[in-house]
Every structure is written in structure tokens, then in C-alpha cells.
Amino acid sequence: MEKTTVKKYTHISFDERKIIERLLRKNTPKREIARLLNRSITTIRKEIKRGSVEQRRAVKTTKKSADIPLYTTELVYYADNANQDYIKKRKNCGCKCKAVQCRDFLNYVEKQVKTKKWSLDSAAGYAKEHNLFANTVTTQTLYNWVDYGICNIRNIDLPLKVRRKTHKERVRQHKRLYGTSIDERPGYVDKRMEFGHWEGDGIVGKNKQGHLITLVERKTGMGLLFNVGDRKATRIVDVLDELEQKFGSLFSSVFKSITFDNGVEFADCNKMEKHQRTKIYYAHPYSSWERGTNENWNGIVRRFVPKGSSFDNLQAMDIKRIQNTINSLPRKRFHYHTPKDLFIEELEAIIQSAEWVA
């Protein structure tokens, strides 16, 4: 009697699964299916068990009796179902083992995301850039693990993944610029090569009550946050006066220019520019992309004070904590260094230059 040589084990293909489904519909014995596919009978039995789903079938009868069931159940093998289950398990293959190897790294990422509101990329990138752990994984793998439930992070914990909303279309109205247009801003400012050029904006609280002002330096990404109470134009003037007093003679080197939107709170161009201490530019109406650095920073602020939140209970220490946390967030475009560190480097360079001139 000729023996059948079973080939070395490989995963069952989708085509083989379709053959199995077709043969089972013809009531072909499992052993015969194994012979036809040159597979082990054990392999075929396991495959049929994994790929079968319970089906209900109505019982056809002319007799009416409570003892006769209306339907019966049976297990039916479906190639499509079996293949989808195979693909899902292949995606998870090795994940948990790898997660065990990277447990310290994963604990670090979970802590940064949950307590400091970092993104997965910031946490992973910072850890790799500073060689904190021997075993790490890519940002994409972390996102996969979140979806598979392998780590203790949910999608709701992530800054942007489930928070994007469809924006309503606005009817654009002509608005007059309060001062110099962004079109007249020097081209080198766009390249972010020179330190000292800022973008400014406001964040409105619940029911349009309360107001935060944000200033973000374009080169380093360093941001400043102020709780000013309302949208009066005098508030930003007071902020700049306070900053000028704080930075002293360095103010004009640190704040060479500021680009605002056309909000009423930024209408008093002359007082903001007082004695040419800085240069004020205005972006085009409804063109928030012209102040992308500032818009991005405001989005991070919203992780701490979500839209619709009241600013009434925000104390000075809360504002400082939010500001410091955001400025300590590693950024991919800075090779996972922080805006705070880069800003300090620029300040030190200005101070050294001033001392050398003196």
C-alpha cells in the first residue's frame, strides 16, 4: 500500500480553506480532505474547529407540537471566517511576548501619557533619543498595542485620536487689519532660523467668559500662557509691559516680532509696539494656518482645559503648571528635545553676546 508523504508544515492558505469549505459541503470525510490537501488529519481537524461558526436551521415539519423544536443548531465551516480569524491572530502573534520584554519602556510610556499628557510619539521618541531603555518599540507598534488592549492606555487617553471634530463651514466676512500685514513680514521669519519671532492668540472660556492669551516662539516652540480675564485690548498691552519689565534690556532681542490674528484683543497695535520695542504683524482673517505654531500650542493647552471649560477656578499656579508641562514636552521636530531647553540655550547665547559687547 502506497504511503502518503505529508509535506513539512506551513500555514494553511486561503485557497486551501476554500477547498475545505467546498469539500465539507459535499460531506467529504476529514481524513479524505487531509489526503487531498496533503495535510495532517490533526491539522485539518483543528482548522475546521477554529473556522466553524454555529448556525441555526429551521425544522421543516407539518406537525404542531411543543416537543418539536422550531430550529436546530450545527457548526458550519466558512473559509472567510477562518481566514479573518487567522489574520487577527497573526497580528497579535508575538505582541504579548514583546510587551513583556519592553515592560519598563511600556511603563514609562503609560506614565508619560497619563500623567503628563504626552503623545505616544513624544514618549517613545524621547526614550529612544536619550537611550533610556534597552528594549523599545516603534510609535506605530504602540498604537497597535493600544488597539489590541495590550497596554494600559486607552484611545481616550491619547491627545488627538478620538477628539477630532468636524468643523462647521463659516461665512467669511471682510475684516480690516489693525496694523502691518503678515505679507510684509520678512521671509527669513518663515524659515524659523532666527530666534525671537513669536505668534500670539487668545483662548475663550465657557460661554465666552474668561480669556487666556498665548505667545509661542517660532524657532524653539517655547510658549507663554496668561490668564487675563477678558478680551479688552489693554490686557495684551499689560502682558507685554510685564514681559518687558521681566526681560529688561533683553526684551527687544527676545521679542523681535509678534504675529497675531485679527481678534479685538489685539487691536491696539501702537501701544503693543510702544517705542519700537517689538514689531507687530497681523495674519489674514480666517487664516489660522498662518500661525500654525501657535494653533498647535493652543491645541495642547486644550488637553488641560478642554473646550467649554470655565477659567474661573484657574489659579496662577495652575497656569504656570500647564505652561511648564507643555514646554517640557519633547517634540519630534526638535529630535525629542524640549522647547524649554532650546529656549534657555537661546537666552544664554543672547546674554553671552551682550556681555561680550559690553
Q: Hey, what domains does the chain have and what are their CATH numbers? A: 14-60+68-86 (no CATH), 95-157 (no CATH), 180-357 (3.30.420.10)
- Per-residue pLDDT at 63: 60
Q: How confident is the model at residue 171 (pLDDT cuts 50, 70, 90)?
A: very low
Which residue from 229, 235, 182, 186 is spatially nearest to 204, judged by alpha carbons?
A: 229
- Per-residue pLDDT at 244: 96
- Per-residue pLDDT at 43: 92
- Per-residue pLDDT at 68: 59
Computed over every residue of the chain, the mean pLDDT equals 86
- Per-residue pLDDT at 95: 62
- Per-residue pLDDT at 336: 93
Bigger pLDDT: 10 vs 227: 227
Q: What is the mean pLDDT of residues 164-176?
A: 50
Bigger pLDDT: 153 vs 57: 153
SS3 of residue 159 by DSSP: coil
Bigger pLDDT: 235 vs 7: 235
How many CB atoms are closer than 10 A to CB 294? 25
- Per-residue pLDDT at 166: 46
Q: What is the mean pLDDT of residues 40-61?
A: 85
SS3 of residue 3 by DSSP: coil
CB 200 within 8 A of CB 289: no
Give the percent of the chain with pLDDT over 90.
Answer: 56
* C-alpha to C-alpha distance for 226 and 168, rounded to whole angstroms: 28
Flag whether pLDDT at 172 surpasses 60: no
Give the percent of the chain with pLDDT over 70.
Answer: 85
pLDDT in tens, 270-326: 999 988 999 999 998 888 888 889 999 999 999 899 888 899 889 999 999 999 999
pLDDT in tens, 81-109: 888 888 777 666 666 667 788 889 999 99
Lowest mean pLDDT among 51-65, 77-91, 257-271, 331-345: 51-65
Q: How confident is the model at residue 44 (pLDDT cuts 50, 70, 90)?
A: very high
CB 214 within 8 A of CB 298: yes
294 dihedral zone (left: phi>0; alpha: psi -120 to 50; beta): alpha
In the block, residue with C-alpha cell 406537525: 63
- Per-residue pLDDT at 1: 47
* C-alpha to C-alpha distance for 358 and 354, rounded to whole angstroms: 6
Q: What is the mean pLDDT of residues 243-260?
A: 95
Q: How confident is the model at residue 192 (pLDDT cuts 50, 70, 90)?
A: very high
CB 278 within 8 A of CB 240: yes
